[in-house]
Amino acid sequence: KAGVTQTPRYLIKTRGQQVTLSCSPISGHRSVSWYQQTPGQGLQFLFEYFSETQRNKGNFPGRFSGRQFSNSRSEMNVSTLELGDSALYLCASSQTQGPPEETQYFGPGTRLLVL
């Protein structure tokens, strides 16, 4: 079974631009969560989607948004990019919407560099 895939793997943008990252969960998984990983703040939860509905949201500004499609694929969008948005963005998928007894599987991440 294929793992979680994230595209693109690397991305360079400039301040003020917007970016869209994509995550394809493991087949049959309906929950997708997003995390931001930076050296200063570590791993921080962005949001979680289950069956196209946002179930949970972290403490990030409204510039960060996401959505989930009927095939469970998810996208996250960051508008008006700032230098501090440079990070590794990880997505994780699981079969259920929690509690997290089911194992969550993480993708390799998308590394975003904002210049």
Partner 1 sequence: AQSVTQPDIHITVSEGASLELRCNYSYGATPYLFWYVQSPGQGLQLLLKYFSGDTLVQGIKGFEAEFKRSQSSFNLRKPSVHWSDAAEYFCAVGAPGGYNKLIFGAGTRLAVHP
Name the residues that contact partner 1, by CB under 8 A: 4, 31, 33, 35, 42-45, 48, 50, 55-56, 58, 90, 92, 94, 96-109
Q: Please report how close the Cβ of residue 80 comes to partner 1 at its closest, in angstroms.
A: 25
Provide the 8-state DSSP code for 80: S
Q: Give the Cα separation of 87 and 107 in Å (integer).
A: 15
The first and second tokens of residue 17, run together, are: 């631009």
Q: Which is nearer to partner 1, 50 or 64 (CB)?
A: 50
- Rounded to a whole number of angstroms, the minimum distance from the CB of residue 94 to partner 1 is 6
- Pairing type for strands 110-114 and 10-13 reads parallel
- Please identify, using beta-carbon distances, which residue of 20 and 106 lies nearer to partner 1: 106
CB of residue 4 to partner 1, shortest distance in Å: 7
Tell me which residue of 63, 95, 93 sits closest to 76, measured CA to CA.
63
Q: Which is nearer to partner 1, 28 or 42 (CB)?
A: 42
